[in-house]
């Protein structure tokens, strides 16, 4: 390139080049990849199972980012297949099973679905029916299965009562279910256990690929393994009635391998006539369970914590403790209708609540 004749213009161009060079340098400084600790943290987020699923990985010293991203992609693909398989209203294995059930057939349960069916049957038995995967028809009547078309009024009582009565008459699941039905009133909905189970599977699959430090958040159903470098994973539990200053009700550290799962009346709900109608239905009445705002369970398995938090929520303020012990979970806290917290002795020492929270420790 030929330099311009004018010395003024040449000086200007030199200074301009210097100025732009400095600006580029500062931009680079501001945007460059974080070094050290944070450079080893990988994060991916995607939509699945009607919610946002996020996975964070903390890489070991000798692990490569690109390899880890590929492992995350594989985990996402597995999760997509899992979501398809367990969708109650889709056209995967469970969706097709539900369709045949609705047509009055007796259905055999595909081998891939049997383990979670068996676990669900066991949890239904242990919870005295408070956790029940057969309630799909009730969920449908309330419209909680369809995020796009929430109701704004409670459903017709006659329709609901008939569905509740039909569910009470329908056969229970066998302990090791291979087949079910005929039971046209039943539609299986694994929504209260599948996200926890999915989180377990992602953790297991990433571990098998050599990634021991993982945190999976499947729509608020949190499952962690390992640690975040030099410190434990730090988990917050959402405040059931958040305000501007306070969005997190409690925090705890997870060092090892645990799930933290909350069931709350704020997740899917509508309000009508000054009442809140939420998605945690009592299978015995067909109505949203009353008396608690939220239940949080900390347990080694996501599937267990997920199902247990639902059953304990449905059990309500008077019976939550016996339901928890029947399900074999001892680290639990519940928030009652007035915002008061009860926490078990096993969880109390390791969890920290907001300063103004009214907390009672219970056996």
Interface with other proteins (CB under 8 A): 8-9, 11-12, 15-16, 19-20, 22-23, 26-27, 30, 54, 56, 215, 217, 220-222, 224, 228, 233-238, 245, 248, 251, 260-262, 264, 267, 296, 355-356
**Nearest distance from residue 258's CB to other proteins, in Å?**
11
Between residues 98 and 301, which has the closer beta carbon with respect to other proteins?
Answer: 301
- Residue 107, CB half-sphere, CA atoms under 13 Å: how many? 24
Distinct helix (H) and strand (E) counts, the chain: 8, 16
DSSP 180: E
Question: Burial letters for 249-272: b for 16+ Cβ neighbours within 10 Å, e otherwise?
Answer: bbebbbeebbbbbbbbbebbbbee
CB of 30 to other proteins, least distance (A): 5
CB of 201 vs other proteins, minimal distance in Å: 17
Task: Give φ, ψ of 345 to 5 degrees.
Answer: -60, -30
Report in angstroms how near the CB of residue 13 gets to other proteins at its nearest: 8
Report the nearest approach of other proteins to the CB of residue 222 (Å). 4
Please give the C-alpha separations between residue 268 and each of 135, 139, 191, 222, 240, in angstroms, as whole numbers. 16, 11, 12, 18, 12
Q: Which residue, 101 or 260, is less far from other proteins as judged by CB?
A: 260
User: 97 or 224, CB closer to other proteins?
Assistant: 224
Q: How many residues in the chain? A: 363
Minimum CB distance to other proteins smaller for 185 or for 259? 259
CB of 18 to other proteins, least distance (A): 8
> Nearest 10 degrees: CA dihedral of 241, 355, 222, 325?
-90
Residues 6+ apart with CB under 8 A from 320: 292, 295, 312, 313, 332, 334, 342
By beta-carbon proximity to other proteins, the closer residue of 183 and 295 is 295
Q: How far is the CB of 254 from other proteins (least distance, A)?
A: 9
Q: Which is nearer to other proteins, 273 or 355 (CB)?
A: 355
Give the nearer residue to other proteins in terms of CB position, either 98 or 293: 293
Helix (H) or strand (E) holding 52: strand 51-58
Place of tokens 């998605």: 279
């Amino acid at each position: 390139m030929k330099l311009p004749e004018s010395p003024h213009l040449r000086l200007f161009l030199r200074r301009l080049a210097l100025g732009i060079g400095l600006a580029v340098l500062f931009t680079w400084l501001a945007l460059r990849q974080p070094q050290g600790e944070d450079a080893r943290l990988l994060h991916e987020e995607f939509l699945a199972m009607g919610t946002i699923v996020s996975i964070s990985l903390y890489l070991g010293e000798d692990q490569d980012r690109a390899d880890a991203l590929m492992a995350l992609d594989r985990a996402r693909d597995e999760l997509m297949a899992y979501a398809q398989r367990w969708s109650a209203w889709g056209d995967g294995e469970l969706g097709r099973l539900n369709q045949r059930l609705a047509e009055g057939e007796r259905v055999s349960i595909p081998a891939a679905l049997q383990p979670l069916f068996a676990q669900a049957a066991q949890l239904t038995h242990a919870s005295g029916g408070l956790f029940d995967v057969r309630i799909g028809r009730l969920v449908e009547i309330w419209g909680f299965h369809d995020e796009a078309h929430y109701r704004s009024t409670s459903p017709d009582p006659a329709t609901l009562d008939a569905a509740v009565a039909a569910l009470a008459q329908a056969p229970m699941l066998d302990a090791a279910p291979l087949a079910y039905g005929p039971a046209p009133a039943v539609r299986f909905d694994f929504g209260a256990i599948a996200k926890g189970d999915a989180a377990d599977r992602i953790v297991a699959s990433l571990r098998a690929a050599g990634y021991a430090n993982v945190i999976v958040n499947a729509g608020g159903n949190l499952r962690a393994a390992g640690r975040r470098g030099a410190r434990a994973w730090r988990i917050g539990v959402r405040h059931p009635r958040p305000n501007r200053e306070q969005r997190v009700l409690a925090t705890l550290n997870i060092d090892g391998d645990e799930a933290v799962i909350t069931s709350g009346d704020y997740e899917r709900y509508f309000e009508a006539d000054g009442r809140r109608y939420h998605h945690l239905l009592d299978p015995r009445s067909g109505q949203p369970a009353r008396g608690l705002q939220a239940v949080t369970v900390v347990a080694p398995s996501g599937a267990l914590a997920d199902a247990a938090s639902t059953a304990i929520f449905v059990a309500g303020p008077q019976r939550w403790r016996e339901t928890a012990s029947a399900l074999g979970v001892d680290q639990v806290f519940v928030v009652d209708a007035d915002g008061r917290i009860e926490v078990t002795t096993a969880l109390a020492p390791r969890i920290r609540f907001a300063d103004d929270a009214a907390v009672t420790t219970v056996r």
